[in-house]
Amino acid sequence: MISPSLSASFVTQKTIKGFVMALAAAVFWGVSGTCAQFLFEQKGINPAWLVCWRLLLAGIILTTFTITRKNSDAFKIWKNPKDAIQLLFFSIFGMVAVQYTYFYSINLSNAATATVLQYIGPLIVVAFYAIHNRRWPIMVEYASLFFALTGTFLLVTHGSFQQLVISEKALFWGILSAFALAFYTIQPVRLLRKYSAATVTGWGMLIGGIAFSFISKPWDFHGTWDLGTWTAFAYIVLFGSVIAFYIFLTSVTIIGAQTASLLCSVEPLSAAAVAVVWLNVPFGPMDWLGTVFILVTIVLLTLGTKQKAGSSL
């Protein structure tokens, strides 16, 4: 029999693992968004073509990994019709939607603006669970939402509403990406309780890439292909897709969709850091203030997780 102290230690370590995974996924996504903007603006790459190949290559890698590992559950998901249907919904309305809407929003505006709009997503997730569970969010969750949104806003706009000047089309696709992010976060939770994150993510990407191939021809590409293009493309596929999506969905099974999505508010921080090093963008007072707000969010979420865990004992 496991002692209460060992059991509590295991839960704590597992929770920390979930937090680290969610944060790492956010960093990888932030850098990936900056790489995408680099490819769109400086290399002439089409967003739809990039999404198509990103899904296909990442899907092949993850699915192969899942099939070849010991005690694989790669094909079990197809034996249950209900699970198979849910996987198809996740592939199209989750995996494809969250990537295309975000990348297309970047193409219409920029990575910073697209990130601000997409981060309405955590609000949608919190609202969904509040309605679904018929309870109001606890005070820590309200505070976390405030600091997450305020920090993201300060980081990418420097506190000026005038800098968020975009077209109606860009605004529409940005908000659409927020709903796609919320759906992507909530919808696969039941599947992830039965199957591994690699199985759900791998099949989701591969099926999504194949389906999207009928819309965007993967063999029809344009743009300038040099070392910079290949490097950015490889990063988006490996770190911004395979690793990021896998560890994020794994974190959802550990700490829940709501907490995982809120932790991903550090994504703009990683995007800003890359901009400073790569694009020589100055990091001013408003940037640092936004960073502090986002770090406060992480502290509050940690306290909130302990509070909910304590109340359930």
Residue-wise pLDDT tens digits, 235-249: 999 998 888 878 887
User: Is 271 inside any structural domain?
Assistant: no
pTM for the model: 0.79
Tell me what the pLDDT averaged over the chain comes to: 80
In a domain, 234, yes or no: yes
Q: In total, how many domains does the chain have?
A: 1
Report the alpha-carbon distance of residue 223 to residue 179 in Å, rounded. Answer: 30
Residue 173 resides in a domain: yes
Cβ(229)–Cβ(50) below 8 Å: no
Phi, psi torsion values for 115, nearest 5 degrees: -65, -40
Task: Give Cα separations from 78 to 8, 12, 85, 156 (angstroms).
Answer: 36, 34, 9, 42
Whether residue 272 is contained in a domain is answered as no
Residue 172 forms part of a structural domain: yes
CB 240 within 8 A of CB 1: no
Q: What is the pLDDT of residues 54-104, one digit of tens each?
A: 999 999 998 998 899 888 888 999 999 999 999 999 999 999 999 999 999
User: How far is it, in rounded angstroms, from Cα 28 to Cα 22?
Assistant: 10
- Tens of pLDDT, residue by residue over 262-308, are 777 777 777 767 767 776 655 667 767 776 777 676 667 556 655 55
In a domain, 60, yes or no: yes
How far apart CA 93 and CA 91 sit, in angstroms, is: 6
**What pLDDT, on the 0 to 100 scale, is given for residue 303?**
60
Burial (CB < 10 A; 0-12, 13-18, 19+), residue 167, is exposed
Range of the domain at 194: 43-140+161-254
Query: Does residue 312 belong to any structural domain of this protein?
Result: no
pLDDT level of residue 6 (50, 70, 90 thresholds): very low
Window from 21-30, 72-81, 105-114, 205-214 with minimum mean pLDDT: 105-114
Side chain identity at residue 82, one-letter code: K
Residue 8 domain flag: no
